[in-house]
Structure 1
Amino acid sequence: MIFVTGGAGFIGSNFILDWFCDHDEAIVNIDKLTYAGNAETLAPLAGDPRYGFAHVDICDRDAIDALFAQHRPRALLHFAAESHVDRSIHGPGAFVQTNVIGTFALLEAATAYWRTLPAGERDAFRFLHVSTDEVFGSLAAEDAPFNERTPYAPNSPYSASKAASDHLVRAWHHTYGLPVLTTNCSNNYGPYQFPEKLIPLMILNGLAGKPLPIYGDGKNVRDWLYVGDHCAAIRAVLERGVPGQTYNIGGWNEMTNLDVVQAICNMLDEHEPRADGASHASQIELIKDRPGHDRRYAIDATRIERELGWRPAQTFETGLAKTVQWYLDNPAWIAGVTSGSYRHWIDSHYA
């Protein structure tokens, strides 16, 4: 039995679905179901005895304690987070609450539970904290990519709240001995991503004939990681990672935002051409940059490959093709998200 927090979110739901392709070990998904938590994504698991769902806020220490006592997991994988930079600029309080206070509550509950375990189970327990490359700040064009020794320099309320959670996890290992693992990943993309993020937003706006807005000059650089590769990396860290260590997970795919959107337009031109014959690229609009917009992120994922044997299986081209095709093939999921009807799914299935 393992716990997954935030399992109704984009990366968490992909992890759970991937997990059950290769494992029979049970999962309890702990999720508050905020706007980006879509329980309907996991509808294929309804009735599966391996899957359990707990509609619980990670800040609710009593509820988390009760789940530990009931299920006695061997590991907790902490995906739950507020993660959208634009939202953090306009409403930072929710990010501090979930990412900092929520992580603190989980660490306290996990430590209390871990101390009750017999020696063998205590040694085997893991608290795996999923974080972001944004905690490292912004790189210049000539700078080397982030590695596990890069100093923290967060520039947005979101990245600052994730940096704080990373520091808490480190402290609970060094002070209390809790066997923790931390991963810092680059920008994820793939199926089931909420359409506030760049790639799904551009796909859906492109299909709808809407503008494709890109901040600033479009030359901000990100390293893109296909979500299925990220899930495989997390499994490797859980199985073989050394407690107390951090592992950077990247796709080895640095791209400007403008190049990403142009690649999406090229694929849409091929699969869903516009009625007027123009390219979807004609919908691209450069708009005013957002405050504190980091110029470049890049991940050096050498360590996880050298020590744990993981390397991404997808190139950006193959991963993007899978992603575009998934959005083309799943109009019902998209309709539920864009209409908001997905928010009612939990009421009918977990009343």
Structure 2
Amino acid sequence: MNSDLSLLEALVPDVLKILRQRYLVLEQISLHAPVGRRNVAQQLRLSERNVRTETEYLKKLGLIEIRNYGMVLTEKGEKTLQDAAPLIDRLFNAGETEVKLARKLGIDRTIIVPGNADLQDRVYEEMGEQLNSALNLLLPLGHSIITVLGGIDVAKSASYLSKQLGNNRQLEFVPGRGALGENVTTQSNTIVQEMAAKTLGTYKTLYLPEQVSEVAYRSLIRENSISSVLQDISQSDAVIHGIGLAQEMAKRRGYDSIRLSELRDKKAVTECFGCFFDDTGKIVERITQVGLQFENLKKIPHIFALACGSRKADAIKAYMPNAPHQTWLITDEGASNAILKEK
């Protein structure tokens, strides 16, 4: 089947993107009918013009009806959507375990690579290649802005993006945060440069402390060089981020022993986007940071979370109740097996 799909894509470029987009349009109409084009466009982060083109085509196929009060699926449309679901799962949720994990975590998709990153460094190569394939599948041709956050899992996977990803695309990589005073190789400023070099894209940097006071934050975001990056972040087509262990991330943020102890008392398990979460997904502590804000994540069409190794299983579970549904988790068997074995 994979060879047939490769041939099909060679003859009809973007066929899988078109298939998935039309399926998602049908799905949105089914979920929210009667619904207008604008609402569908907002949910899928597509232009209204794009949705109009797709819905007019779906109407010609007899899959939807466009009425004064909104769009609805026809009986043929409902059956087509139901029949297409297994195909979409096979194409975009390749394995049964990946489907099961995605459902357990409440997100759109998971990709599981063989191995356990706690024991095998080669896992990062496969995760990077899977990230490259996912970006190639979902990103449109032309200009796209990709916001990248730092961390070991993202940094080690970054070097496996390919120049083919940049074919017919103008990819712009921007950091989702400033520096943490950490190892420079795991900072988002460094990662965006490597991703841009690998894909023949461009990048911007955000050289300033990530953690600042509220007063300093308000002042900094008015600086032209910083506001330019923040504007790009707000218009991102995709976000790539890691999922950190709470104590490790707090140490990288300069927490002293007293604050680390307080964080343990709050039962913090994981950290993402400056928010510390406990094992129920509740935010137990938050810091003011310059860059991508957690509340704005749901507005971004494509989100890729990279986290691997069995030791990250609890962190993944703790964060995922907050993850937007459009999140794709790229992980390994070490983490996925640990998550799935728990009821």
On whether the aligned pair clears a TM of 0.5, the verdict is no
